């Protein structure tokens, strides 16, 4: 590797943080197997640096982040920096076969990106197979030095990562489902910072404990890293004051229960306003349609200093899985901060308007014996996405033909009662992208379907934040519904739940050239094909174009 003198100086300066602030954050992620004991049984899991959850990435707005990922496991690996804008650096976004070929066993790759215009909490996770079940961690983005938070400075900050644990190997779980055609087994427990807390068949299982001092305020950086389940989160006897989601500040509001979908993050202040005691923290599933979930509640404790470990814990009962009203109370309270310093730049005009159905389907499968010759699939506008064997971004950049087509439909092929169910449950397939010019404004209405069952789908867009300008139940009405859109202070985020049997409208400015994945963040639905990509052309000049690929970009 060639080092310029400037870079040598920067690297030396980073060793002397007292002299000059380091603007380059360097990490090494060794992807390794590690035996891990949960639910009173041990199994090897894929981890980063032997840790579960993985290490937290600490950065400041405007820093450049360099993460060398070294693959020591038998699986192909890639890492996604979920929610990082990756302006012109799609090569570092991470979804396998979309922006890069995976890092193969024994190989390494340097992710290199700059954090621009974002502050708060995001997460990183594996973006290939089902590895993100255990390969995930927090990204903490601090504001620029000297810039305060737009809320009272907390005494301490704590990362709280929610997850799902299977007793079996997760790759075996999804492989079994794919060969049968049926839905995969639900998880065996939820976790809070890697631990389920005591459960009935393993009462000795320890849990995460957050130590607090009476009167102090804490910032919880809460992340849902679960694979397939949206989660409720609450703490007995304490209110949560929400200040940020998906690394964008919100208007603060107080609430007792959060709902958080896989891929989403929420920063909330909590004041230790009791004098002493122990209080239960609970994470439990939100599922308001007839779909099986893991209904085990993960628990942790908030422990006031000076309180004996043996003293009783104040309990809380989590909402039932079908508590739609509890989820809506949280979701409907979210607004962009939209202050002078942090304005909500909502696109007021729309260049490209898409109406996309999201839902399930059933296709024939001769080998699917358990599924009676059928397999469950999922689609967007009736297209079940087929993963290419060459990354789409490479195919785009190097003009390799035959990898993808640009005919992703802007509307469903046929209009039907979307929240009902058509007679024909089959889908088509293809590797289709939707192409837009640089800097165009895009509106996407995501419409849930009732094919097999309506269900809440948390849809994630890579490369952009979007504004959630509207939502509703039933079928979207393009004439009347836009009249109720919030174009002033809608919440800005990167992952949004499409309500079960309803729709959500989002808008974004396509100011980032590249290939950007959009998919359901329930991993089972992504696997089944609920995914597509936007191809955003280069604009004029180098500042509006994808940077050239790094020399160590993995090959397929």
Ligand X SMILES: *[C@@H]1O[C@H](CO)[C@@H](O)[C@H](O)[C@H]1NC(C)=O
For ligand X, the binding residues (CB under 6 A) are 66, 76, 101-102, 104, 110, 112, 168, 172-173, 176, 185, 295, 320, 322, 371-372, 382, 386, 398-399, 412-414, 416-417, 419-420, 422, 424, 426-429, 439, 450, 509, 511, 539, 541, 543-544, 547, 556
Q: How many CA atoms lie within 13 A of 293 on its CB side?
A: 25
Region label for 170, one of left (φ > 0), alpha (ψ between -120 and 50) or beta (otherwise): alpha
- The site partner of 108 among ligand X, Cu ion, none (C-beta below 5 to 8 Å per kind) is none
- Taking phi over 0 as left and psi of -120 to 50 as alpha, with beta for the rest, 381 belongs to left
C-alpha triplet 70, 83, 324: angle, nearest 5°: 120
Count of residues that interact with Cu ion, criterion CB under 5 A? 4
Shortest Cβ 159–ligand X spacing (Å): 27
* Cα 232 from Cα 255, distance rounded (Å): 12
Minimum CB distance to ligand X, residue 218 (Å): 29
Say which entry of Cu ion, ligand X, none residue 55 contacts (CB below 5 to 8 A, set by partner kind): none
Torsional sign, CA 428, 431, 436, 439: positive
Q: Checking DSSP bridges between strand 24-38 and strand 64-71, what pairing results, if any?
A: parallel
Residue 112 CB, nearest approach to ligand X (Å)? 4
Cβ atoms 111, 489 nearer than 8 A = no
| Two tokens, residue 451 | 């094919």
Q: Which is nearer to ligand X, 256 or 351 (CB)?
A: 351
- The site partner of 119 among ligand X, Cu ion, none (C-beta below 5 to 8 Å per kind) is none
| Least distance (Å) between residue 392 CB and ligand X | 13
Which helix H or strand E contains 124, and what residues bound it? strand 120-126
Residue 291 lies near Cu ion (rule: CB under 5 A): no
Q: With contacts defined by CB under 5 A, name the span among 84-92, 271-279, 478-486, 524-532 that binds Cu ion.
A: 524-532
Largest CA distance in the chain: 69
For the CB of residue 267, give the shortest distance to ligand X in the complex, in Å: 28
Using CB distances below 5 to 8 A depending on partner kind, what does residue 522 bind out of Cu ion, ligand X, none? Cu ion
Tell whether residue 457 is a contact of Cu ion (CB under 5 A): yes
Q: Which residue, 150 or 550, has its beta carbon nearer to ligand X?
A: 550
Selection from Cu ion, ligand X, none that 181 binds (CB < 5 to 8 A by kind) is none
Out of ligand X, Cu ion, none, what residue 295 binds, judged by CB under 5 to 8 A for its kind, is ligand X
Among 268, 393, 520, 532, binds Cu ion (CB under 5 A): 520
| Residue selected from 139, 383, 522, 536 as contacting Cu ion according to rule CB under 5 A | 522
Q: Is 218 helix (H, G, I), strand (E, B) or coil?
A: strand
Nearer to ligand X by Cβ, of 30 and 112: the residue is 112
Q: Coil, strand, or helix at residue 433?
A: strand
325 by DSSP, 3-state: which?
Answer: helix
Residues 6+ apart with CB under 8 A from 370: 180, 181, 182
Q: How far is the CB of 373 from Cu ion (least distance, A)?
A: 24
Neighbours of 251 (CB within 10 A): 16
**Integer-rounded Cα radius of gyration of the chain:** 23
Instruction: Please choose, out of 398-406, 464-472, 501-509, 522-530, the segment that lies near Cu ion by the rule CB under 5 A.
Output: 522-530
| N- to C-terminal Cα separation, the chain | 23
Q: Does 77 bind Cu ion (CB under 5 A)?
A: no
Give yes or no for residue 238 binding Cu ion (CB under 5 A): no
Residue 525's binding partner out of Cu ion, ligand X, none, with CB under 5 to 8 Å set by partner kind: Cu ion
CB 403 within 8 A of CB 375: no
Residue 77's nearest CA partner among 134, 25, 38 is: 134
Q: Which single residue brings its beta carbon nearest to ligand X?
A: 420
Shortest distance, position 530 Cβ to Cu ion, whole Å: 5
Distance between CA 132 and CA 46 in Å, rounded?
9
C-alpha closest to that of 518 among 361, 370, 358? 358
Binding to Cu ion by residue 461, rule CB under 5 A? Answer: no
From the list ligand X, Cu ion, none, pick the one residue 545 interacts with, judged by a Cβ distance below 5 to 8 Å according to partner type. none
Cβ atoms < 10 Å from Cβ of 94: 30
- Ordered DSSP codes for 468-517: EEEEEESS--TTTGGGG---SS--EESEEEEPTTEEEEEEEE--S-EEEE
**Does residue number 460 form part of the binding site for Cu ion (CB under 5 A)?**
no
CB of 543 to ligand X, least distance (A): 4
Q: Are 458 and 521 in contact (CB under 8 A)?
A: yes
Measured from the CB atom, is 267 or 419 closer to ligand X?
Answer: 419
Which option in Cu ion, ligand X, none does residue 520 bind, with CB closer than 5 to 8 A by kind? Cu ion
User: Is 269 a residue that touches Cu ion (CB under 5 A)?
Assistant: no
Q: Mask: binding to Cu ion, 398-437, rule CB under 5 A, as x and -?
A: ----------------------------------------
Name the one range near Cu ion by CB under 5 A: 169-177, 249-257, 455-463, 475-483.
Answer: 455-463
Contacts of 190 (CB under 8 A, 6+ apart): 162, 163, 164, 165, 196, 226, 229, 231, 283, 284, 285, 294, 296, 297, 298
| Contacted entry of Cu ion, ligand X, none for residue 313, CB cut-off 5 to 8 Å set by kind | none
Q: Measured from the CB of residue 409, what is the shortest distance to Cu ion in angstroms?
A: 19
Q: How far is the CB of 480 from ligand X (least distance, A)?
A: 14
**498 lines the binding site for Cu ion (CB under 5 A):** no
Please report, to the nearest 10 degrees, the dihedral formed by the alpha carbons of residues 543, 544, 548, 554 taken in order.
Answer: 130
For ligand X, give the closer residue by CB, 92 or 266: 92
* Contact footprint for Cu ion (CB under 5 A): 457, 520, 522, 525
């Amino acid at each position: 590797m060639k080092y310029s003198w400037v870079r040598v100086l920067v690297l030396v300066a980073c060793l002397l943080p007292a002299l000059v602030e380091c603007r380059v954050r360097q990490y090494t992620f060794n992807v390794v197997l590690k035996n891990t004991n949960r639910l009173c049984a041990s199994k090897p899991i894929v981890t980063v640096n032997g840790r579960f959850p993985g290490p937290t990435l600490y950065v400041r707005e405007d820093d450049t982040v360099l993460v060398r990922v070294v693959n020591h496991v038998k699986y192909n690996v890639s890492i996604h920096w979920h929610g990082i804008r990756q302006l012109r650096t799609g090569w570092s976004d991470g979804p396998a076969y979309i922006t890069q070929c995976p890092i193969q066993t024994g190989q390494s790759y340097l992710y290199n990106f700059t954090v621009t215009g974002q502050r708060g909490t995001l997460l990183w996770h594996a973006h290939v197979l089902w590895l993100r079940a255990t390969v995930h961690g927090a990204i903490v983005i601090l504001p620029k030095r000297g810039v305060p938070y737009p809320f009272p400075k907390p005494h301490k900050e704590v990362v709280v990562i929610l997850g799902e644990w299977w007793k079996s190997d997760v790759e075996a779980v999804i492989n079994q489902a794919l060969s049968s055609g049926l839905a995969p087994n639900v998880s065996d427990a939820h976790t809070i910072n890697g631990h389920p807390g005591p459960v009935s068949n393993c009462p000795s299982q320890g849990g995460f404990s957050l130590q607090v001092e009476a009167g102090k305020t804490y910032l919880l950086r809460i992340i849902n890293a679960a694979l397939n389940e949206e989660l409720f989160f609450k703490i007995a006897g304490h209110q949560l004051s929400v200040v940020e989601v998906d690394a964008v500040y919100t208007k603060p509001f107080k609430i007792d229960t959060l709902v958080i979908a896989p891929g989403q993050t929420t920063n909330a202040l909590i004041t230790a306003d009791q004098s002493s005691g122990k209080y239960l923290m609970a994470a439990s599933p939100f599922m308001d349609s007839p779909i099986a979930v893991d209904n085990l509640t993960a628990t942790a404790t908030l422990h006031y200093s000076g309180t004996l470990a043996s003293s009783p814990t104040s309990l809380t009962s989590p909402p039932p899985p079908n508590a739609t009203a509890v989820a809506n109370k949280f979701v409907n309270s979210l607004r962009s901060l939209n202050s002078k310093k942090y304005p909500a730049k909502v696109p007021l005009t729309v260049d490209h308007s898409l109406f996309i159905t999201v839902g399930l389907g059933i296709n024939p499968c001769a080998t699917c014996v358990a599924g009676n010759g059928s397999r469950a699939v999922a689609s967007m506008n009736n297209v079940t996405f087929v993963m290419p064997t060459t990354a789409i971004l490479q195919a785009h950049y190097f003009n390799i033909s035959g990898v993808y087509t640009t005919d992703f439909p802007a509307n469903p092929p046929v209009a039907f009662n979307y929240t009902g169910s058509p007679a024909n449950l089959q889908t088509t397939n293809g590797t289709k992208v939707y192409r837009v010019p640089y800097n165009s404004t895009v509106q996407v209405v995501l419409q849930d379907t009732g094919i097999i069952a309506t269900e809440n789908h948390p849809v994630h867009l890579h490369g952009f934040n979007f504004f959630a300008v509207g939502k509703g139940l039933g079928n979207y009405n393009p004439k009347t519904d836009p009249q109720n859109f919030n174009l002033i202070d809608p919440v800005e985020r990167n992952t949004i739940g499409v309500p079960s049997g309803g729709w959500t409208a989002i808008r974004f400015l396509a100011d980032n050239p590249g290939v950007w994945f959009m998919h359901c963040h329930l991993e089972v639905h992504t696997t089944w094909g609920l995914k597509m990509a936007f191809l955003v052309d280069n604009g004029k000049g180098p500042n509006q174009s994808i940077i050239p690929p790094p020399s160590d970009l993995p090959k397929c």
